[in-house]
Amino acid sequence: MEFKDNEAIYLQIAGYVSELIMRGKWPTDSKIPSVRELAGDLQVNPNTVMRTYELLQSQEVLYNKRGIGFFVAPAAVQQVQAARRERFLSQELPEVFGTMLLLGIGLPEVQRRYEEFKNAQPQSQPLSTPA
């Protein structure tokens, strides 16, 4: 796994795990690789992977069966989507707003381009809105 320069590795691994769950590679209630296995695969410190798993457990994406391992939580996909939406709205969007202000780009222009962009996309279902 290639790590980006600007984000903590444990958060990047959380993103990687979340993507595997969203794509259905790790289905609900399946046992996921142990901390040590994933650390070996990704060549990272096991304490880092443990931190990732603990974070995802606190976000109810994973659950822990003591002595057995970590499993994908029933509501994992919704939780991952909710976390991703939250991140977009609270972190990525303000950055875009900042650039818009700096360059004097207004909402109508963005709206027009957004519609063009949407129409150019192949038909796909948007992610379901979390409850």
Contact set with other proteins (CB under 8 A) = 3-11, 36-37, 39-48, 51
Chain length of the chain: 131
The most distant pair of C-alpha atoms in the chain lies apart, rounded to whole Å, by 57
Indicate the SS3 state at residue 44: coil
CB of 64 to other proteins, least distance (A): 16
User: Of 52 and 79, which has the nearer Cβ to other proteins?
Assistant: 52
Q: Which long-range contacts (CB under 8 A, 24 or more apart) does 120-129 make?
A: 127/81, 127/85, 128/78, 128/81
CB of 2 to other proteins, least distance (A): 11
User: Of 87 and 113, which has the nearer Cβ to other proteins?
Assistant: 87
CB of 47 to other proteins, least distance (A): 5
User: Of 45 and 99, which has the nearer Cβ to other proteins?
Assistant: 45
**Structure tokens given for 131:** 């409850």
Q: Would you tell me how many other CB atoms lie within 10 Å of the CB of residue 51? A: 18
How many helices (H) does the chain have, and how many strands (E)?
Answer: 6, 2
User: Of 59 and 127, which has the nearer Cβ to other proteins?
Assistant: 59
CB of 122 to other proteins, least distance (A): 34
